[in-house]
Every structure is written in structure tokens, then in C-alpha cells.
Structure 1
Amino acid sequence: MLTSKQRAFLRSLAVNADTILMVGKNGISDDLIQQAGDALVKRELIKGKVLTETSPISPREAAEKIADATKSEVVQVIGSKFCLYKRNHKEPKIILPKQSRK
């Protein structure tokens, strides 16, 4: 579970990230899930887009379904774009801010 500080940090990284995942008229397929999973292992943070004029599902639904299937976390959904994060435990690329202890 991400804290608000970690989520804000990931959002700042996502601003400059390329959109590599497109959800179109076919919705979410097994190939799309596989592509997202592979990208998350390699990059840890990915940005996707839902082609709202042709896609049968909303950007929020797409982000949540892909996150559930890849065991990742939804960082944000803005308009038709969304960001997902999954830590690579073998070779971490993104160092998140520490959780503050109360």
C-alpha cells in the first residue's frame, strides 16, 4: 500500500514517462495484461491510456482491472490516462520515500 507521499513522488515521475499501454476497442485482453506485466517488471512505473471513444470500459475500470491482474497499484487516473506501479524486488529501479512512523 502506497502512502500519499509515495504516491505524490510516483506521480511526479510519471509526468515525463511515455505512454506505453493503450486500451482500445478490444478492451483488456490477455495480451494487454501480459504486456503490462512485462513492462512493470522492467520499468516499475508505467503509463497507460484508454481510447475513450472506442473502448468499452472507463479509464478507472481499466486501471483497476490491469492493476488487479498484474498485482500492481494504481498511482493515479487523470482523464483518459492512468499510471501503475509495481516494485521489482530483484532489481529495484525506483527508490520510494520512506514511510513515516507515528
Structure 2
Amino acid sequence: MLTSKQKKYLKSEAHSLKPIFQIGKDGVSHKQAMTILDALEKKELIKVKLLDTCPLTVQQAALEISMQTKAEVVHIIGHTIILYKESEKEIYKLP
């Protein structure tokens, strides 16, 4: 579980990132969740964008992704989810 100080740090780091995944009309599939997990292992911090055609709300999609990947939801902004999962590389040093 991330503290508020850690979330604030990660939000500032994610500000310059572009969303690398889009969730569309099919929602969150297992295959897509595993691809997100692979990206989290390499980058630790990513953004996921929900398209207007997605049948899930942004909160439902964030919960689904975090349950399947065991990642932390750092923040939700509009239709964008910021996810963090610590990897062995330790790219981000949390306060």
C-alpha cells in the first residue's frame, strides 16, 4: 500500500508520461492485463487510457487491472489511470 507522500511523488513522475495502453469496447481482457503486467515489470510506472467505447467505468477498469496485475492505482485523472508496481530494477526510489 502506498502512502500519500509516495503517491504524490509518483503522480509528479507520471505527469510527463504518455498513456501506453488503451482500453476499448472489449474491456479489460486477461491477455491485455498480462501485457500491462509486462510493461509494469519494465517501467514500474505507466498510464492507461480508457476510450469512450469502454463498457466499464474508469474505477471499475482500474480495479480490474490492479487485481489482475497486483499493481497499485496511484491516481485516476479523467479517463486515465496511473499504475505502479515495484520491480527488481527499482527505477523509482520512493520516499
Query: Could you state the TM-score of these two structures normalised by the residue count of structure 1?
Result: 0.90
Aligned amino acid, residue 24 of structure 1: G
User: Structure 2 stretches of 5 or more lacking a match?
Assistant: none
Greater relative contact order: 1 or 2 (C-alpha under 8 angstroms, separation 6 or more)? 2
2:92 maps to which residue? 94
TM-superposed CA distance for 1:78, in Å, is 1.1
**1:70 lines up with 2:69 in the alignment:** yes
- How many residues of Structure 1 are paired with residues of Structure 2 in the alignment? 95
TM-superposed CA distance for 1:47, in Å, is 0.2
User: Structure 1 stretches of 5 or more lacking a match?
Assistant: 98-102
Identity of aligned residues (%): 43
TM-superposed CA distance for 1:58, in Å, is 0.8
Q: How does 1:4-83 map to 2 (within 5 A)?
A: 4-51=4-51, 53-83=52-82
Note the alpha carbon deviations across 1:54-95, whole angstroms, 9 max, x for none. Answer: 11001111111101110110000111001000001x211110
Which structure is larger by alpha-carbon Rg, 1 or 2? 1
SS in 2 for 1:49: strand
Aligned alpha-carbon RMSD (Å): 0.7
Query: Could you state the TM-score of these two structures normalised by the residue count of structure 2?
Result: 0.96
Q: Which runs of 4+ in 1 moved over 6 A?
A: none
Aligned amino acid, residue 15 of structure 2: V
